[in-house]
Amino acid sequence: MTAIAVTIAGSDSSGGAGIQADIKTFAALGVYGASVIAALTAQNTKGVTAIHDVPADFIAAQIDAVFSDLDVAAVKIGMLSQAAAIEAVARGLARHKAKNIVLDPVMIATSGDRLLAAEAIAALRTLLIPHAIVVTPNLPEAAALTGASIARDEREMEIQAREILALGARNVLIKGGHGDGIESVDLLVGDGDVIRLSAKRIATKNTHGTGCTLSSAIAACLAKGMNLAAAAHDAKAYVTTAITLSDQLRVGHGSGPLHHFYAQWSDQ
């Protein structure tokens, strides 16, 4: 059986984040990737210059086309910039009884550009978070979802993760990449013990699409039948190596992409 995952997100014209990063990640991890494009961005490694939202009815049509034909084992949700898009996705996933939903609450690009309308945060909280097997916010996103200041340590990270759990998510992976220190620590918080995932913090400017890649790697692992803890562990390892080897690529003049195909491009 071919493992299939679908990404529902925005397109990145420079190829480093969004739909493009997700499809690359699925392929690198041995999963067939399908896509539902929710927005188009004019974007490169230096920033986002324009966003064109896909109409909600066309988002729904893409969802119906994919799920009526493909046996989708996991779903990654990324950039949904408007409440109407969030509503269309929520209805579509419910209609097709989608499983293994990984929600990356994308709000701000690596460049600092806002990707989610402020009024859409409420829709995200009420319509999508309750259906996710895991929500994967970074520190600023977790703060925005909980109405708190950015977490300063692991204790505050866990507190905010549990507040997001209270919104209905089954698990929360709160990411510490925006933090300080020699370690980059993520916490997987659910009903059981907190799982601490740490890696050495890597000194590189090439972090474009890191969050997209991590959430799509988790979805890929779930599509292959892994449990969430194993999926998070393997996804963290994949992203860490992709960041570590990102300097092998020469792409753009700003925050460059990860090296998604480090295992396949052995001659680089």
Torsion angle (degrees, nearest 10) of CA 31, 36, 41, 42? 70
Token digits for 145? 């979802």
Using CA of residue 36, residue 145, residue 43, residue 212, what is the dihedral sign? negative
Query: Catalytic annotation on 175?
Result: yes
Does residue 17 contact residue 254 with C-beta atoms inside 8 Å? no
Q: Which one of 175, 176, 177, 240 is the catalytic residue?
A: 175
Integer angstrom CA distances of residue 169 from 96, 105, 132:
19, 12, 5
| Interatomic CA distance for residues 57 and 122, integer angstroms | 21
User: Which parts of the chain are beta strand (E)?
Assistant: 4-12, 32-44, 47-53, 74-77, 101-103, 134-135, 172-174, 183-189, 195-200
Q: Which residue in 25, 41, 45, 207 is the catalytic one?
A: 207
8 A C-beta contact, residue 103 and residue 171? no
212 in active site: yes
CA angle 120, 122, 123 (to 5 degrees): 65
The C-alpha atoms of residue 89 and residue 67 are separated, in whole angstroms, by 12
**Of 7, 45, 136, 210, catalytic:** 210
- Answer yes or no: 209 catalytic: yes
State the residue for tokens 């933090």.
179
Of these residues, 18, 176, 179, 211, which one is catalytic?
211
Task: Name the catalytic one among 10, 16, 179, 212.
Answer: 212
Residues involved in catalysis = 175, 207, 209-212
